Amino acid sequence: MLLAMYTWWYIENVSPVKVTKTFDGAAWMEEDPTFAPPVHLSLDGYYDKRNAQFKGAVKINGQVYDNCFLVNGSGHRYEGANLIRLGASYFDAEMVRIAWSIPQSELPPELTHPKFPDAEIWLISPASSGEEASNLRQELVDCYFAKLKLK
């Protein structure tokens, strides 16, 4: 009985779980708050809730990125032996809400902004407008830094 309870506790609190999620939201950038094309994100991998880490494949508007690592605060992917930084990522504990900044060079063309080619684009869900995206991004960033102060 004790082993069964420990196994249940481990699975619920420590063990990464298989995750297949989709998010619909909007892209957003500080340089042009009116920029808000629709974004469709898919995650297929494993999520470690205790450490707020996701490892697996990410699909952004149909473009697949394998070997991605999202840790609350940052995002990366491996391409062979190279580690490529994909920007800051912030999400809630259940990975229901997400805000992720990505360099335009890593994004599909419909999510880039020709007037500001060096700006990072935020992919934010759930959001359907630039204003919603901006507000949710700020909320997730504030929550992340508030948790850091508590530790």
**Span 54-64, pLDDT tens digits:** 999 999 999 99
CB neighbour list of residue 79: distance below 8 Å, 6 or more residues apart: 67
Residue with tokens 């196994």: 7
Count of other CB atoms within 10 angstroms of residue 82? 7
What per-residue confidence (pLDDT) applies to 4? Answer: 44
pTM assigned to the model = 0.84
Per-residue pLDDT of the chain (151 residues; tens, 9 = 90+): 555 444 445 545 557 899 999 999 999 999 998 999 999 999 999 999 888 899 999 999 999 999 999 988 888 777 877 878 788 999 998 889 999 999 999 899 999 999 999 999 999 999 999 999 999 999 999 999 998 876 5
